[in-house]
């Protein structure tokens, strides 16, 4: 069940009308549902995902779209966590978070170098 529909049913509010938007990520076309008025935000998100996935692909080490998508998702989540942690002036991400993310990146790099599945 669509998450938006589930939320609307749970709150007894009518769902916002959804528009469809065709986007391209790494040259592949996707048709996405998007609430009215949020198309530009979705386009910006798609552009960011496309940019990240293309940069990983262009490194030449990984060919699988699935692996590229997983690494892009991790990179974007990492950037978001760091941005959120440093949103307050003078704050740094917790050292435990930074260390954990570094270990995760090392494990992913090692798995990809060995040709293992993620």
- What fold, for 1-58? Double Stranded RNA Binding Domain (3.30.160)
The mean pLDDT of 34-46, rounded to a whole number, is 93
Q: What is the secondary structure of 67-97 as a DSSP string?
A: HHHHHHHHHHHHHHHHHHHT-STT----HHH
Task: Out of 11-20, 66-75, 84-93, pick the least confident.
Answer: 84-93
Residue extents of the structural domains in the chain: 1-58, 64-118
Query: Does the reported pTM lie above 0.85?
Result: no
């Amino acid at each position: 069940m669509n998450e938006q529909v589930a939320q609307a049913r749970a709150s007894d509010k009518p769902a916002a009308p959804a528009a469809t938007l065709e986007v391209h990520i790494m040259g592949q076309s996707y048709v996405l549902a998007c609430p009215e008025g949020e198309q530009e935000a979705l386009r910006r998100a798609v552009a960011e995902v496309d940019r990240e996935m293309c940069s990983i692909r262009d490194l030449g080490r990984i060919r699988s779209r699935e692996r590229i998508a997983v690494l892009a998702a991790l990179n974007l989540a990492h950037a978001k966590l760091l941005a959120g942690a440093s949103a307050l002036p003078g704050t740094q991400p917790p050292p435990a978070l930074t260390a954990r993310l570094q270990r995760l990146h090392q494990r992913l790099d090692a798995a990809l170098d060995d040709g293992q599945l993620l």
